[in-house]
Structure 1
């Protein structure tokens, strides 16, 4: 007979991914596993609990009442477990500031961290790159001290300083009807499907779809796991995307065009940390990051 003791953390992680993405295909892609493996994991979890967790629909899934209860009770379980493992690994190691960034912000983050080290700080910084969706939770759980984050993101329990404003542009295929125009209005792109990166909230989805300043109807394009996927989807004319201009620095834009868009919100790059963090070394790093970005 199945019982809760047979449930493992992997299944909870899979459940949280599906609950977040509301789609098995997107969740499986984000987890790096096949959709069939994810489906088996969720079915096993449902069998252990004895109730369905999701209502399956053709294009998305929604949580059942049981699923909603499980989500409330386990939302931070994976985060707390990861933080506990991180603290155990750090025991006895020299003190350091763990700093997170997304890959497309590597130049900015690297420049700031290098400049911080040039001041001969008492506590060095260790920069690492990972899925930006995990960064706010990592800060809240104490698995990292600081992160370079772009609005919008879940700011609960976090403090942040804006480092700079990065304008966004529309990325379109060279064959797009408007590709030859350097500047367009957002309404000119109303009929184009939009590909967006993985998100954790509806506010983030609206932002990446350019529906944040004022609501607008838009069609989702193919799923994209990262900036490389976005470039490929747009280059093949499958969708357009609204991206930070700095993302295109040093990128080969063969087959692509970037357009200035009137009515498109910018990307705000911040340095963020847990609101209850009091370490002097963290304060020193934040001060350096703010001064270095001026």
Structure 2
């Protein structure tokens, strides 16, 4: 069956209301031949005659009258759908890949309470505050050290971090570790990290020691592979770690700084972005 085109329904309505293809063409700003071709196309799609063409008037067949009744409804529903689409505001929210599940759940809850807003959650392997400054994101979920220039940032929570080791790592036999135990380990190092970010993610922000040996990585997959293969260790925030990590073990570290989870927007964010920030700050999963 051929697709039904809304414009053809509008043409049928015009003919029915004016009683003439000529007058309908004038109303629709079409030539009479063009309108006649479109009406024949509609009849082919329907598979039955819809019009009785006379020398002075055009009338609907019984099938045409049935389609006309539905045409009014379909055209009205399409008008309402377009209006609703124009009224929908989309917010782009970036989040670290490890926090996407929690952010997506909070977004679904927000959309249910705010039908006129749609949330587009975009995972990022690393922090993306520059997207806020560039205007390509409305809200970002951020962690720890980053450039705050031009941003409005609010704290969601601070949580402990732990070290993730390869399953065969000698330190995995101990229940608790210290920063000194890990001082000579190789840590993963994200491309593009600032000095402050690197110090935080290697523990140097606490003990003041020079940054540890580092293995350059570019994705979460790189991190997991490096740890599982015993080539590096990584400090990770506890709320995003699964209970079991195949090929890896997780241990608490005394004296290690926590991970600060924050939400950021461009300065002076208003409207839906501000409402979403307030929703994120109240989201109970962060407190679990």
| TM-score interval (norm. to shorter) | 0.5 to 0.7
Q: Does 1:118 align with 2:112?
A: yes
List per-residue Cα deviations over 1:43-88 (Å, max 9, x = no partner): xxxxxxxxxxxxxxxxxxxxxxxxxxxxxxxxxxxxxxxxxxxxxx
Distance between the aligned counterparts of 1:159 and 1:182, measured in 2?
40
Question: Alpha-carbon deviation of 1:132?
Answer: 3.1
Aligned CA RMSD, in angstroms, stands at 1.9
List per-residue Cα deviations over 1:109-131 (Å, max 9, x = no partner): 11110111121343322212234
Q: Does 1:283 align with 2:277?
A: no
**Largest Rg, 1 or 2:** 2
Q: Do 1:190 and 1:217's aligned partners in 2 also have CA atoms closer than 8 Å?
A: no
Question: Alpha-carbon deviation of 1:136?
Answer: 0.8
The aligned counterpart of 2:140 is: 147
Distance between the aligned counterparts of 1:238 and 1:146, measured in 2?
35
Q: How does 1:22-33 map to 2 (within 5 A)?
A: none
Distance between the aligned counterparts of 1:203 and 1:212, measured in 2?
8
Per the alignment, in what secondary structure is the counterpart of residue 154 of structure 2?
strand
Q: Do 1:132 and 1:149's aligned partners in 2 also have CA atoms closer than 8 Å?
A: no
Q: Do 1:193 and 1:221's aligned partners in 2 also have CA atoms closer than 8 Å?
A: yes
List per-residue Cα deviations over 1:129-150 (Å, max 9, x = no partner): 23434x2111112111101111
Given the superposition, is the C-alpha separation of residues 258 and 199 from structure 1 closer, same or farther in structure 2, using an over 3 Å criterion? farther
The aligned counterpart of 1:158 is: 151
Instruction: Note the residue ranges of structure 2 that are not aligned, 5 or more in a row.
Output: 1-85
Distance between the aligned counterparts of 2:230 and 2:206, measured in 1?
26
The aligned counterpart of 2:238 is: 245
What is the number of equivalent residue pairs in this alignment?
200
Per the alignment, in what secondary structure is the counterpart of residue 222 of structure 1?
strand
Question: Alpha-carbon deviation of 1:218?
Answer: 4.1
Distance between the aligned counterparts of 1:272 and 1:260, measured in 2?
29
Distance between the aligned counterparts of 1:163 and 1:257, measured in 2?
27
Distance between the aligned counterparts of 1:118 and 1:191, measured in 2?
50
The aligned counterpart of 2:122 is: 128
The aligned counterpart of 2:206 is: 213
TM-score normalised over the length of structure 1: 0.63
Question: Alpha-carbon deviation of 1:269?
Answer: 1.0
Per the alignment, in what secondary structure is the counterpart of residue 189 of structure 2?
coil
Given the superposition, is the C-alpha separation of residues 287 and 239 from structure 1 closer, same or farther in structure 2, using an over 3 Å criterion? same
Q: How does 1:172-183 map to 2 (within 5 A)?
A: 172-183=165-176
TM-score normalised over the length of structure 2: 0.64
Distance between the aligned counterparts of 2:273 and 2:235, measured in 1?
33
Tell me whether 160-169 or 142-151 shows the greater mean CA deviation: 160-169
Question: Alpha-carbon deviation of 1:151?
Answer: 1.3
The aligned counterpart of 2:78 is: none
List per-residue Cα deviations over 1:131-174 (Å, max 9, x = no partner): 434x2111112111101111111111111121122321111112
